[in-house]
Amino acid sequence: MTLSPRTATGIGFLAVLLWASLAVLTAASGDVPPFQLLAMTFGIGGLAGVALWLVRPAAAKAIRQPWPVYLLGVGGLFGYHAAYFVALRHAPVVEAGLINYLWPLLIVVFSALLPGERLKWQHIAGCILAFAGAVLVVTKGQGFAFDTAYLPGYLAALFAAIAWGVYSVASRRTAHVSSDAITGFCLVTALLAALVHVAIEPTIWPAGPWQWLAVVALGLGPVGLAFYVWDIGVKHGDIQVLGAVSYSAPLLSTGLLVLTGYAAYSNTLLIACLLITAGALLAASDLLFRRRRTEEVLLSEWNSPEDDAAYRDL
């Protein structure tokens, strides 16, 4: 089945909505250690993909990929989520979450460093704005003083943002790989996480049905379905639109944390959230409006029915 760009873009947007719930569901999962949580949630996400093989047997063939593809896919999923879950266990959830959401900005900046691209003033200005927001989150507006007990969590959140930025940009080289391959990435990630968990962590199971429900929701949603729909969106939809809506993730995630009681509202928090979002939007401004400018130029140069037909074929 061939999807239209509009439909694929809409499917990709579901990933942004799902990722907005990542922090609140992780907080709701209780005291499950980071790598145990990683193993459980990716195991659920991977097994859900395997279950789909019953209705789509051909999808099973997609897990046969060369090792460089698995190195990128597993490295991105395992590296990012391991750092993210560690961050949420060692720093206040809203602060770690906002630092993590520097990744949309980093995707734009890293993309500008690719061959044929260049770093522009808006990339640098966007970095400064977003960095100011991150500093405000960490210091709570109290100068440059912050609780050093949370430093490991803050650094883990920053590493998570960098890891996802690198993974997302590097994934452009594997656009030919089917989205069904993500099932394999999830299963290998779950296995690696389980091995690390057994080696370094105590086993702590969710306490009560609500925590179990949060773990299952994580595995089916932001740590499962989100990767499949995002892959469809970036490969077959409008990447510029998806890039724009991803900058709403910090606002959505922080809003959910406040509404569910896992974070207290403050003006400092709101300002920091807006700075990070504004910085990412500024850094991506050239990307976001490039297509519009291109369309305006093409529209101004229509001279004949032949030109009209050629434009429709673009």
Q: What is the pLDDT of residue 297?
A: 47
* Mean pLDDT of all residues in 279-300: 58
Q: What is the pLDDT of residues 205-218, one digit of tens each?
A: 999 999 999 999 99
DSSP 212: H
Domain boundaries, the chain: 5-283
> What does the alpha-carbon distance between residue 297 and residue 54 come to, in Å, rounded to a whole number?
49
In angstroms, how far is CA 97 from the centroid of its own chain?
11
Model confidence over 93-128: pLDDT tens digits? 878 888 887 887 787 777 777 666 667 777 778 778
Rounded to 5 degrees, φ, ψ at 303 are -125, -15
Q: Answer yes or no: is pLDDT of 240 > 70.
A: no
Which stretches of the chain are DSSP H helices? 5-19, 22-28, 34-51, 67-90, 93-100, 103-112, 121-139, 151-170, 182-200, 209-220, 226-236, 239-246, 249-259, 267-283, 285-300, 305-312
Q: Name the pLDDT band for 299 (thresholds 50, 70, 90).
A: very low
Is a pLDDT exceeding 80 seen at residue 307? no
pLDDT tens-digit map of 39-63: 999 999 999 989 988 888 888 888 8
Task: Give the per-residue pLDDT at 263.
Answer: 75
Q: pTM of the full predicted structure?
A: 0.76
- Range 26-65 burial, b when 16+ CB lie within 10 A, else e: bbbbbebbbbbbbbbbbbbbbebbeeebeeeeebeebbeb
Range in 56-60, 149-153, 195-199, 249-253 with the lowest mean pLDDT? 249-253
Percentage above 70 pLDDT, the chain: 80
The confidence score (pLDDT) of residue 44 equals 95
Q: What is the mean pLDDT of residues 247-253?
A: 75
**Which pLDDT score, from 0 to 100, does residue 287 have?**
57
Higher pLDDT, 196 or 294: 196
Q: Are 29 and 215 in contact (CB under 8 A)?
A: yes
- The band of 310, judged by pLDDT with boundaries at 50, 70 and 90, is very low
Reading the block at residue 232, the tokens are 């469809």
